[in-house]
Chain A
Amino acid sequence: MDTALETGMVVRRTRRLGRFVDAYGQELVVTAALLVLMAVAGTVNRRFLSETNLTSLFSGNAYVAVAAIGMSMVIISGNIDVSVGSLIGVLATISGTLAVKGYPIWFAWLFPVLVGVVVDAFIGVLVAYARIPAIVVTLGFLSILKGGLISATQGAWIANLPPGFFIAQFRVLGVPSPVYFAAVLTILAALWMRYSALGRAIYAVGGNGDAARAVGIRTKPMVVFIFALNGFFAGIAAILFGTQLQVIQSTVPPNLELNVITASVIGGVSILGGTGTVVGSSLAAVLFAAISSSLIFLNVSAYWLRAVLGLMILATVLADMARRRRIG
């Protein structure tokens, strides 16, 4: 074969690889970090890679990954939602209450998802039509939902849930259902955002609102729709969160909104809007879970867990900024 042609093909192939690295850089960084971490933790302590630990690690944090899908869409559209943790707490409590009160179990699963969609669509209306910045609206809703939940329940535990209720404890082929939920929803959302016109419109709204309007995207209904989707994912996350234990503690999981936002951002979603993928955010949610779990296996005192996590977040962010600057 002609050597010039051959060189050309190699160059093209490396270029394609380069483009792939540039386009999915953060997803690759997170995956690499995840693999290194698992290798190190697995070498130091065999039990880290045991089936029981990995299963509980993935399944117990799947709800964060699911919530991060909706959050990524919101952030890509140039908005933010700090109320998602409170909403998940409220929806899980609604679900448990319905189940205990004797409603059909399918209704106890579906109704909270519907409530999530309605609440977040309303948030979307306030953001898009009343022009209140998303961080202000969701800050308000954080207070309303959290305060409302604690006043209504006093943080009481919901016990005596019917046996068929615990969807997060179902297993298919030995793998707990939350893993399937997170994987399937992430893949579907990623494909939808990559290849459908409506999915692309999310990027357009966040990338440049005026330009999006100019090409005929109705940005205001779009923002409402994106928030409604976020409510849908929060609803699913709430069901997975609420059904993983035998009881539901009707309070807001502390810092949950920050964990979800962090997962999205570390996964490569730009806080400035317009770029990022849900694959990255779901991977990052898994990475966090793996970090927390591995620290225990590496005999790091539980007291230092959050500090190490904070350092790792910071390191990932700085690495990402360096990479972006190199790309220019």
Chain B
Amino acid sequence: MRLSFRSLLRHEAVLAVLMIVALLVLAHQSDRFFTTANILNQGRLVSELGLVALTMTFVIVTGGIDLSVGSILGLVAILIGVFWKAGILLPLAVLLAVCVGGLAGFVNGLIITRFRVPPLITTLATLALYRGLAEGISESRSVRGYPEYFYVLGQGEVGGMPTQLWLLLAAMIVAGVVLGRTTFGRATYAVGANETAARFSGVAVDRTKVLIYTASGLVAGLAGAILVSRVSTTRSDMGMGLELDAITAVVLGGTSIFGGRGTVAGTVLGLVLIQALRNGLALAGVKGDGTIVVIGFVLILAILVTNIFGRDGDG
């Protein structure tokens, strides 16, 4: 296959170039940026967002959106504390809470497929509902003082690498294989590209969607468990705004917000770029809020550049 100028400017390529430039500039700003310790630590910090962004990729490829992930994370975090305080063995409490996350996602999927409520509206409503449950159940009290072994998940290391980074890497591979190499992945693209056509081709559209939203809730719950373990406490406002960060990573990674197009590799690139910018700019002395501004610009610019150069005609 001949490499044309246009194919060179595919979104992932644009993103990779953008990332290399960013990394070079950031490395120039601070000696600490390219150290192993720093990179591993950044991996630890980005794990929760990374996990959620992976399932969000599936959701957006189907042409949907899940705004409730941040709230599900908060709800699961609170439930871990509540279940454990109620005397349930901690690992069992975590498992139970994460399953509630999956249940929350399942409810999203049911409302979207059974009642035909658009995903944006459904998850807008459950964003309020799940966060509200977290607030109501916790009454704004935080739970701390977990047993030491629980912190292995969020603060410990396995084989020299942060525990959750192993989880994230494994999840990336699984997500990449499922979306790119399995029937389920093909069905996901089919649903997003043309739902009616997919239905008539015998794709189980509703089952695919319900599974994906359930997975989204389950993974948001897992991210909640990791976050609780990383910061040693639970609060009901955990994960607020996470949905927008995850969507940013996915869209930055070239997944079309209209569905049907996108890759896990793109999302991973988007994630790395976001975290590198956050970290690099922080090391260069830019405050956190300045970093948000840069990420906003990068998001618009990346899509703009792709739109101007990288498209074959309309579409």
Contacts and interface: CB of A to CB of B under 8 A. Distances in A.
Contacts of B304: 126, 130, 132
Given A132-B303, A136-B303, A317-B117, A143 B132 contact: no
Interface string B25-36: 000000000000
Nearest to A308: B132
Contacts of B308: 130
A307 B128 CA distance: 6
Contacts of B294: 147
Contact of B290 (A151, A303, A310): A151
A321 interface: yes
Interface string A123-150: 0001000111101110111111011111
Nearest to A262: B124
Contact of B297 (A140, A265, A301, A311): A140
9 contacts: A126-B304, A135-B257, A136-B299, A141-B296, A271-B121, A301-B136, A305-B132, A307-B136, A313-B124
Interface in B184-219: none
A37 B122 CA distance: 23
B135 A307 contact: yes
A258 interface: yes
A264 B213 CA distance: 25
Contacts of A313: 124-125, 128-129
A136 B293 contact: no
A148 B136 contact: no
Interface stretch (B15-23, B85-93, B244-252): B244-252
Given A133-B257, A136-B299, A139-B247, A317 B121 contact: yes
Contacts, number: 138
A87 interface: no
Interface in A303-328: 303-311, 313-314, 317-318, 321-322, 325
B132 A309 contact: yes
B256 to A, nearest CB: 8
A143 B296 contact: yes
B106 interface: no
B286 to A, nearest CB: 9
Interface majority SS (helix, strand, loop, mixed), chain B = helix
B267 to A, nearest CB: 15
B296 A303 contact: no
B42 interface: no
Contact of B296 (A126, A131, A142, A308): A142
Interface string B115-156: 111101110111111111101101110000000000000000
Contacts of B133: 307
B299 A151 contact: no
B245 to A, nearest CB: 9
B292 interface: yes
B296 A307 contact: no
Nearest to A259: B128
A261 interface: yes
Contacts of A150: 289, 292
A272 interface: yes
Contact of B293 (A80, A151, A261, A314): A151
B179 interface: no
Contact of A258 (B124, B136, B289): B124
